[in-house]
Structure 1
Amino acid sequence: MAEQEARADGPSAWGGPPVWGGPSAWGGPPWRRRHGGGPPWWNRPDGDEPRSRLPWRSTLLLTVFVLVGSNAAAGFQTDERAALDPFARVLLLVGALQLLWRWRYPVAVAFGTATTAMVYLGAGYPYGPVFLTVAVGCFNAIVAGHRRAAWTAMGALWAGHVLVAHWLYRWLPPGGDDAASWGQEVAVVTWGVAIVALSELARTRREQWARERAERAQAARRRADEERLRIARELHDVLAHSISVINVQAGVGLALLDSDPEQARTALTTIKAASKEALGEVRQVLDTLRTPGDAPRTPAPGLDRLPELVEQAASAGLTVEIEGEAPPRLPPGADLAAFRIVQEALTNVVRHSGSRHARVRLGHGGGELRLRIDDDGPATGDDAGGGGNGLVGMRERAAALGGTIEAGPRADGGFRVLAVLPVRASREVEEDR
């Protein structure tokens, strides 16, 4: 009950066709529509769980690029750095292949690629695409949320480069090498800062996309819950009213079947009409489930059908007196809610009150529609007025439009249902939709 009322507080398209799915990024790029935010390679099917597949294709392309690019770079640094030998190629291959596990073990890959690159540079091999493996490994670690680990790996690589280029170069290949210029260190630092900045930007965007996906999923669940409650209320209101009329008329028919066959025939005719109307309304509700998004085949009932309610109540032995008039142009949602509230209140009079007379008073003003349904009692059971889903449904309908419902015994022994529905506010809400 508390959960249903909390869900009913939000705006919902009561009285309209079900809305399955949400108004998210249907106008955006195709990958945004299909994958719920973010490019397809960005989204993990299981939230933040590691991906089950290894990135073979991207790693293979990176490996080929690193090997070919390092050969090309070596051609421009023949007099400055050591030539590429089998050990250098093994280091390049190991550094690139570590990227296969960058989704499963981002921290280990970040430190592994940095260590491999440090050994490669310490051995005096040419500068080049070897830094790309470090960039990809640290980028993935930062995006995955391991920021400190990635920063530490890049900081360790830079510190190792400073140590080799300005102190250990005397004992490391190539022979006769001089200390590197500090301008080169500025370039290395700039490269590292650019990688970190790009990675942080990507991480922020990934978190934003994750939040958007979670919000869309939550909104879809909320709409599904609201639609489920709406359909449950519609079915309850339709079936409770019609079956109450059928039950009363069936009792009359059985009682008069032998003594007054003509009156029994009238009761059976009323049962037939009530059941036909109930089937029609139930079919309309079910049609919205079979064809979501389509307009209903028949308009939703409103206060213009009050005479039908009076007629049905009269067939069940209840005299209904209508006082006042509804506003000429009610929003569909408010019109349906008002009709269902009156219908449920009269059904409760038939089922739970000993009175055979009820009064329905309509009033409006100040942007509000006021409904008051009274009967003179006495109650025929402990659940006078309806203590089950009927009053719950009325309260939810009113709450969905920002209105209120008061229901309870009167001081003189009868029962009263008082509903206040904000017509102006509900119209604005529906127009926004």
Structure 2
Amino acid sequence: MDEQRERPGVPPWQRWVERTGRGPAWRSSLLVAVFAQAGSGWAAQEQTGRVALDVFARLLLLLGPLLLVWRHQYPVAVAYGVSAVTLVYIGAGFPYGPVFISLALACFAAVIAGHRRAAWGAVGLLWAGHLLIGHWLYRLLPPAGDGPAPWGQELGITAWVLAILAVSELVRIRREQWSLARAERAAAEKRRVNEERLRIARELHDVLAHSISVINVQAGVGLALLDSDPEQARSALTTIKAASKEALGEVRQVLDTLRTPGDAPRAPAPGLDRLPELAEQAAAAGLTVDITTDGDARALPPGADLAAFRILQEALTNVVRHSGSRTARVRLSWQPRALELRVDDEGPATGGPAGGSGNGLVGMRERAAALGGTIEAGPRPDGGFRVIAGLPLPADPTGAPAAAPREAQTADPTADPAAAPAAVPSQEDP
């Protein structure tokens, strides 16, 4: 806006058009001019006591609509200008009629543009001038022999003035409400887009981090054993291939939601039923995972099932990356209205570079918070690290347990890594 104001040689009305997209109002002003000319001619036939329309009257009836052409660019000047033209028309004794339409539109444009005082001032000027002409100056102004205006007529003029201002204020309020509603819809849409971007970013983070961790560990094993134990190196490469294939499949599933929004995913989202598979993937990276369950397991809502899986996935990934322990204990505590997930490792922290983005714990907290749950993560008093997630759950109306992950199982890192499916956790420094 400052650049436009400083541009030399650009008239103000052009800067207004560039800023607001509204140019001179030629068509509506022409329509008002035609109506004022025709309507005033009909009014002159009915008001025989007024001065007959002449060339001067016709020019005044054209001047008002002509000023309206620039009512969007100069609303204050147009409002006062049309008020003055209308007052001259009335002072000359010409018939009442459509001449007031120009003033109504000028005041309406001023109010809409936010110049309420200017609109009130222009209308007040006309009202005060009409009152002065009708009761004090009528002897000096045409028509000859005219008497004072009846007070009933003044009441009608006053009501007309108030009606113009009331309608203008009503339209202004409605426009502000529409503008506010549009802004709220735009803000809501922006929030929805941001939330969707965050969800997709979190999914990609969780999908890639665990698989990359497994690939990194197995690549190190393969390099170390390439010459001394080719068969073990081959197994490590097989695990890398399986992990990368799994990661690619899940990344493709996430990206499909971007290409075809609203379509159902082609593959089901992971849940706790894949926890044994997650343990096998961790085993391929050299981490023994001991899984225990308390309480009666039951089916979870899809959102809670995915969040529980991703939280456990992230916690195990952190153990692989940041802990010197090669054992992790996962405990699922099923309560009537909540599910508690606990992941413990014995430590100690490796202190080495994690290579992650530092968003793992943040992502876990966001997932839990989206369901109204909590995340507690920190060092244990006896060493190691602990992650506790509490996810609120709806009460099971049937009370019947549902399918759940296998209980009390241990994934052995000595098992054949080639049989382990690829993995999908995330990353964060505890």
TM-score, normalization by structure 2: 0.84
- Residues 344-383 of structure 1 mapped to structure 2, 5 A cutoff: 344-381=314-351
- Residues 1-400 of structure 1 mapped to structure 2, 5 A cutoff: 50-77=20-47, 79-324=48-293, 327-381=297-351, 388-400=358-370
Residue of structure 2 in register with 1:415 after alignment: 385
User: C-alpha distance in 1, partners of 2:300/2:28?
Assistant: 60
SS of 2:189's equivalent? helix
Which structure 2 residue ranges, 5 or more long, are not aligned? 1-15, 396-430
User: C-alpha distance in 1, partners of 2:321/2:43?
Assistant: 91
1:385 touches 1:408 (CA, 8 Å); kept in 2? no
- Higher Cα radius of gyration: 2
Q: Return 379-388 or 304-313, whichever deviates more.
A: 379-388
Cα-to-partner distance string for 1:145-186 (whole Å, 9 max, x where unaligned): 222221121111111111111111111112122222111111
- Superposed displacement of residue 116, structure 1: 0.8
| Identity among equivalent pairs (%) | 71
1:138 touches 1:150 (CA, 8 Å); kept in 2? yes
Q: CA RMSD in A?
A: 2.0
User: C-alpha distance in 2, partners of 1:218/1:138?
Assistant: 33
- Superposed displacement of residue 260, structure 1: 2.0
Distance 1:155 1:141, change over 3 A: same
- Which amino acid counterpart does residue 361 of structure 1 have in structure 2? R
- Superposed displacement of residue 383, structure 1: 7.0
User: C-alpha distance in 2, partners of 1:59/1:387?
Assistant: 63
SS of 1:313's equivalent? helix
SS of 2:69's equivalent? helix
User: C-alpha distance in 2, partners of 1:387/1:376?
Assistant: 24
TM-score, normalization by structure 1: 0.83
- Does 1:401 find its partner at 2:371? yes
Count, aligned residues? 378
- Which amino acid counterpart does residue 58 of structure 2 have in structure 1? R
Which structure 1 residue ranges, 5 or more long, are not aligned? 1-45, 426-433
1:348 touches 1:385 (CA, 8 Å); kept in 2? no
